[in-house]
Structure 1
Amino acid sequence: MLGTILLILLILLLIGAFPAWPYSRSWGYAPSGTLGLIVVILVVLLVMGQI
């Protein structure tokens, strides 16, 4: 249950970190890339049954 809530929260953060505003375009994909990596690790852990 906690893993599912954490996954949903991280997906929302990933969508929020997408550089869509003019001031954040210079950031590149670093914020969303980092959150994407965390989401992938969390999904792998969920599939393996570790969480």
Structure 2
Amino acid sequence: MSLSLILLIILILLLLGAIPTWPYSSGWGYGPSGIIGLLLVVLVVLMLLGRI
């Protein structure tokens, strides 16, 4: 496995854990999932450009 694939899997799992529908994260709002989602988009764009 390459490093970019491992990072992609970790970010997807973090994004699923930060969704505000889970009971432990209901008070967080959309901030954490938005930040992790942005990191995921940046990682995917870098993967498509071949930088990672």
- TM-score > 0.5 by shorter chain: yes
- Tell me the distance in 2 between the aligned counterparts of 1:24 and 1:12: 14
Structure possessing the higher relative contact order (Cα contacts under 8 Å, 6 or more residues apart): 1
Q: Which runs of 5+ in 1 are unaligned?
A: none
Once superposed, what is the RMSD of the aligned Cα atoms? 1.1
Match of 1:32 in 2: 33
The number of equivalent residue pairs is: 50
Runs of 4+ aligned structure 1 residues displaced above 2 Å come to: 23-26
1:16-43 C-alpha deviation (Å, 9 max, x unpaired): 011121x532321101000000000000
1:14-29 equivalences in 2 (<5 Å):
14-20=15-21, 21=23, 24-29=25-30
Q: Which runs of 5+ in 2 are unaligned?
A: none
> What's the % identity of the aligned pairs?
60
- Tell me the distance in 1 between the aligned counterparts of 2:40 and 2:49: 14
**What is the TM-score of this pair, normalised by structure 2?**
0.87
